[in-house]
């Protein structure tokens, strides 16, 4: 299991080496296509590289236990218990991936649940 932590060190979401990202309450919120991340609506959210999830603007939004590079990481808080997984909704048509911006060292303003709700 890979946990995604926000800029404050809080565990926000996870994935179990499959292509789906879940919140700890069990809600499916996104999926991977290669390193790209999409909401179930099909909206392109960002990408994962070196254990970091970057938003559409190239700002780091989440880190993992194995992330390297990027901004300084806060201490990690304890992970909450995982709730039962909800059924995954149908995927919408994938939005075209925009050109990838340069990676930044400034934390994303979407380093929270809003990343998945945008």
Going by C-beta distance under 8 Å and a sequence separation of 6 or more, which residues neighbour residue 22? 13, 14, 15, 28, 29, 82, 85
- According to the model, what pLDDT value does residue 118 have? 76
CA separation for the pair 101, 98 (Å, rounded): 9
DSSP lists the bridge partners of residue 4 as 13
Q: Is residue 27 part of a domain?
A: yes
Q: What total number of domains does the chain contain?
A: 1
- Mean pLDDT of successive 10-residue segments in the chain (118 residues)? 96 90 96 95 96 97 96 95 93 91 94 91
Structural domain that includes position 41:
2-71+82-117
- Has residue 76 been placed in a domain? no
Domain assignment present for 101: yes
Is 77 inside any structural domain? Answer: no
């Amino acid at each position: 299991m890979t946990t995604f932590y926000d800029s404050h060190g809080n565990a926000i979401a996870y994935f179990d080496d499959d292509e789906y990202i879940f919140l700890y309450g069990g809600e499916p919120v996104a999926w991977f296509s290669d390193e790209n991340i999409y909401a179930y609506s099909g909206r392109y959210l960002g990408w994962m590289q070196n254990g970091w999830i970057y938003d559409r603007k190239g700002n780091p939004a989440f880190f993992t236990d194995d992330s390297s590079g990027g901004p300084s990481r806060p201490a990690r808080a304890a992970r909450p218990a995982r709730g039962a997984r909800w059924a995954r909704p149908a995927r919408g048509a994938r939005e075209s991936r925009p050109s990838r911006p340069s990676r930044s060292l400034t934390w994303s303003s979407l380093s929270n649940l809003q990343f998945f709700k945008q």
